[in-house]
Amino acid sequence: MNQMLVVGASGRLGREISAAAQEKGYSVIPLGRNDIENIGQFLASTNGKFVDKTILVDVSLPEGTEKIAEKLVNLDIAEKLSAWVIGTTGHSEALTQKIKIISSKTPIVLSSNFSRGVFFLEELLKARTTTGKNVAELAKQLGFDLALWESHHTMKKDAPSGTAKTLALAAGISSDKISSTRVGSVVGEHSIFLSQGAEELRLTHVAHSRKLFADGAVDLCERILKHGLDKRLFTMSDALNQLMRS
């Protein structure tokens, strides 16, 4: 049986990930603030069950990620942890450096969005056309102006979202061409506008439920445990590109 340690398990996404992982047969262990202090013991323990592999999923807050990094940076985790999957954002430069150091001991996937649909949209934007140019490059050469709009619920703090920044990077869209809306209980919507004269194309991803993020996170973990990743720092896009070639 594979084991999943979940930091942030009491949050909305954490609860969804825990439930989705249990449905897949994982032994799920929620780690609270005090548990992080003893994370080395959790990595070494089987909790009375036979554990094949252990993966750590962090969907807490940047402060939680900082605490985990402080512990892991000094621990021997190479044979104990298959990967650390991080779903938090807003990391300081110091934390980013710690994460890079830890990634030399175990693979780390840093993702602002676990949606498989967003990954697919990103791949579409970067896909090569028969001209040899990618979609975004060809659109610009044809005279299309590109912009991005994203919408989330009113409680979301960052704007633009991390996903919007990722998609904008894939499409070569500058930050001044990104607009954000925070309204109601919108789970998430991202639209790429390609506009030129009297015509316009739109590429849109709509999240109808947070469950899609949990399913995407567990799918990523399953692929990691099955195929393995190199010991380095990945984005979700980088990780899936390597895993889907395995």
Residues designated as active site: 152, 156
Structure token digits, residue 23: 């449905």
- DSSP H helical ranges for 73-160: 93-102, 116-126, 135-141
- Distance between CA 73 and CA 176 in Å, rounded? 37
Residue whose C-alpha is closest to residue 66's, from 37, 42, 45? 37
Q: Tokens standing for 168?
A: 């904008």
What tokens does 203 get? 């590429």
Tokens of 57: 């999923």
Contact (Cβ atoms closer than 8 angstroms) between residue 232 and residue 104: yes
CA dihedral 207, 167, 19, 158 (to 10 degrees): -90
Cα angle value 205/208/213 (rounded, 5°): 80
Q: What is the dihedral of CA 8, 64, 28, 85, to 10 degrees?
A: 100
| Alpha-carbon distance values, 97 to 91, 100, 111 (Å) | 10, 5, 16
Residue 200 backbone phi and psi in degrees, to 5: -150, 140
- What span, in angstroms and rounded, lies between the C-alpha atoms of 163 and 156? 13
